[in-house]
Amino acid sequence: MDLILSDLSGIVILSTREQSHKRKEKQMAKTIAPTVGSQFTTAKSKVTGVVQEIVKNANGTMRIRLDVNGQDRWTTAK
Residues 3-30 pLDDT 10s: 444 455 555 545 455 455 555 555 554 5
The confidence score (pLDDT) of residue 56 equals 93
**Res. 2: pLDDT tops 50:** no
What H or E segment, with its residue span, contains residue 23? Answer: helix 20-29
The confidence score (pLDDT) of residue 46 equals 92
Q: How far from the centroid of its chain's Cα atoms is residue 22's Cα? A: 12
Higher pLDDT pick, 12 / 48: 48
Closest to 49 measured CA to CA, from 57, 40, 58 = 40
Predicted confidence (pLDDT) per residue in 51-77, tens digit: 999 999 999 899 999 999 999 999 999
Closest to 65 measured CA to CA, from 43, 45, 46, 42 = 42
